[in-house]
Amino acid sequence: MRGIEKIKQTFENLNKSVIRFPITMTCSVIMTIYLILEIKNGWFLSYNPMIETLLTGILLSINLHLFEERWLCDMQDRNRKRIFRAILWIAGGAFICCVHFILLNPVEGDTLGIHEKDRIYFGLNLFLIISSAYISKIRRNEGYVVYIFEIIGSFAKALVYSIVMYLGVAAIIFTLVHLLELPLYSEIYGYMASAVFNLFLLAVFLSDFPDSNDEFQGYEMVRAWRVLLLSIVVPLLSIYTVILYIYFAKIIVLSRWPNGLVAHLVLWYGMFSVAIVFFLSALQENKPFLKKFSIFYSVAMLPLLCMMFISVWIRVKEYGITENRYYVIMAGVWVCSSVLYYIRHYVKKQDSSLIFIPIILSVAVLISSVGPMSAYRVEKRGQVHELVKVLQRNDMIQDGKIVPKYDLREDEQERISELVSYIMANHKFEDIPNMPCSEKDYSFEKVFGFAEKWTDYWEDPESSFVERVNIGFYGNEYDKVEDISEFDRKYNVSFYSPGPEDNDMQDQKPFIVRKEDGLVLYFYDLGDKVYTEKIPFDELYEQVSDLEKRQEKGEEVERYLEYEGEDMKYRLVIEGIMLERIKEEGKDSKVYKECNIQGDIYYRLKK
């Protein structure tokens, strides 16, 4: 009965969210209607800028309502209060218009690229989420950690209620459709999900959102959380810290720095640790030893953070700045600032609040997303600088234009290829300086003097070098096959292997088995005797590469590859071949990845 009363009270309190956050709930209602219309018209997965605008409107209006609650409610002068409120909401409306018409609706001639707009939009929303956790507690930050606990608890409760609500109503609808045969369409489940997980969840969450005037005197953490933090999380973090120190001692002794591993080991640990120390402060009145633990733990994190920054600096110095490294640096700065603040906070035994932690995080998010110091802009400048440096090193910039160089070393070709591919994939063609042509007339080989080395530019540009050869003959081209009179047997080949693992054609004769360094072909005579022939990947790659280059130059090339072994002679007549290999960073060898062969094999056994 007690649980039912609580649920009943929760539903009765939903009107509080409408009274306290009227603009937010209005945006949520409109967004729910848009979502239902999207589902009805079958456009649910399509891009709709209005829905994204309403999402930002919900987050912004929560902040503005909380700002009003904190700073305007205590104003005695009503006229002044009305003026400030009008200015506040007019500014908010102007901000939403900018988001909708500048970020979410592309305009011809816009200087912002789609990638940059996506990052700005995501960063602004993340900033609004974080700022809503502290905007009403600035200069009224007593019990701030408990305030955050209340927000988390409110959201958790709203999520659980919404899941239960959706599953319950879905079960009722399912029963009505299948037992009473009511003509309800399956889209009703989507309509219901839009209403429950948008409108209902938000209403429940905001109905229990703590007030800035709430006092949390005598707060006692739920026993389950207390046991989790003190008996599980704290010991695990302590053990992990010791392991990291042992690992770094090993690095110092062996004088060998691991590639890209240190930042991941330390950064996630550091961010998690900042959050744990933050929440532990709520227990320090009853557990005085936690204050000493927080000081010791914060001091112990500083050398680990120094090692992380050294690791990132080595990578930036060698390969330049990328978005991933920028985010690592910014997150590291936030962790380091938080750790230093913890030390100052506990050593000086000040009564200052820990509200500084989310404030500095939101500032870091905003800087990383918007403006000239955003990750996108800094990465663009860094990668362009690296490209210009490589081109100048090889005398490929003359009179302010890039000039081709035909005898460039392979490692320099790979470096230029990866930088150009990365810039063009993540930025714009116009961002590459000194280009001698427009994007319409652009050809990598004509501009730089060599064929582009394919790079996996979705990752960090130096992570791997991907080379790919691809040649095909289709239609009438494929029908024009050279003389095959010397061969007496023919088999069709359709072989595909996505990776280094074996991938065979054992249901065909001859069949092909992939090995680490090449393909093994199994041939049969008229009886059951089996003959094997091997085509090394290196040999196949060079042969296909030669055909591809000659074909690109407009030469007429043979449409086959011919091999001769001890027992037979065979010819692979090509319909299409694609072979991909990766040169991993720090290794001389190349790993062959994807292999695709379509065509016919003609062969004869030697007598």
Rounded to 10°, the helix 49-67/114-131 angle is: 30
Q: 468, 578 in Cβ contact below 8 A?
A: yes
Which residue has 């950064």 as its token pair?
Answer: 267
Query: What is the pLDDT at residue 521?
Result: 80
- Residues 240-262 as b or e (16 or more Cβ within 10 Å = b): ebeebeebbeeeeeeeeeeebeb
Calculated CA dihedral for residues 457, 463, 469, 474, nearest 10 degrees: -40
Query: What is the pLDDT at residue 604?
Result: 80
Token output for 356: 């500084």
Nearest to 352 by CA among 360, 344, 340: 344
Q: 419, 462 in Cβ contact below 8 A?
A: no
Q: 53, 104 in Cβ contact below 8 A?
A: yes
pLDDT in tens, 214-238: 777 667 777 888 888 888 988 998 9
**Other Cβ atoms within 10 Å of 141 Cβ, number:** 18
For 551, list phi and psi in degrees, rounded to 5: -65, -40
Token output for 384: 């362009």
- Residues 378-390 as b or e (16 or more Cβ within 10 Å = b): bbbebbbebbbee
Q: What is the CA radius of gyration of the chain?
A: 32
Query: What is the pLDDT at residue 428?
Result: 83
Strand order in the sheet with 518-524: 511-514, 518-524, 530-536
Residue numbers of the chain with a pLDDT score lower than 50: 457-463, 475-476, 478, 502, 504-507
Residue 510: cis peptide before it, omega within 30 degrees of 0 = yes
Nearest to 128 by CA among 63, 209, 49: 63
Query: What is the pLDDT at residue 95?
Result: 95
Q: 23, 65 in Cβ contact below 8 A?
A: yes
Find the length of the chain.
Answer: 607
Nearest to 525 by CA among 510, 506, 514, 513: 510
Token output for 10: 């929760």
Instruction: Give the type of residue at 310.
Output: I
- C-alpha 144/C-alpha 215 separation (Å) is 10
**Other Cβ atoms within 10 Å of 324 Cβ, number:** 17
- C-alpha 597/C-alpha 472 separation (Å) is 10
Instruction: Give the type of residue at 232.
Output: I
Query: What is the pLDDT at residue 457?
Result: 45
pLDDT in tens, 561-598: 888 877 788 888 888 888 887 765 555 567 777 788 88
- C-alpha 380/C-alpha 321 separation (Å) is 9
Q: Whole-prediction pTM value?
A: 0.74
Q: 379, 326 in Cβ contact below 8 A?
A: yes
Token output for 228: 């989790």
With H, G, I as helix, E, B as strand and everything else as coil, classify residue 272.
helix
Instruction: Give the type of residue at 429.
Output: F
Q: 306, 315 in Cβ contact below 8 A?
A: no
Supply the DSSP string of 498-532, one letter for each residue. -SSS----TTSSSEEEE-SSEEEEEEE-SSS-EEE
Domain edges within the chain: 223-370, 377-448, 466-605
**Other Cβ atoms within 10 Å of 53 Cβ, number:** 22
**Positive or negative: CA dihedral 426, 428, 433, 439:** positive
Rounded to 10°, the helix 289-319/234-254 angle is: 40
Neighbouring residues of 94: CB distance < 8 A, sequence distance ≥ 6: none
Identify the bridge partners of residue 398 per DSSP, sorted by sequence position: 401
Which residue has 């088995």 as its token pair?
Answer: 513
Query: What is the pLDDT at residue 52?
Result: 92
Neighbouring residues of 262: CB distance < 8 A, sequence distance ≥ 6: 251, 307, 308, 310, 311
- C-alpha 200/C-alpha 153 separation (Å) is 16
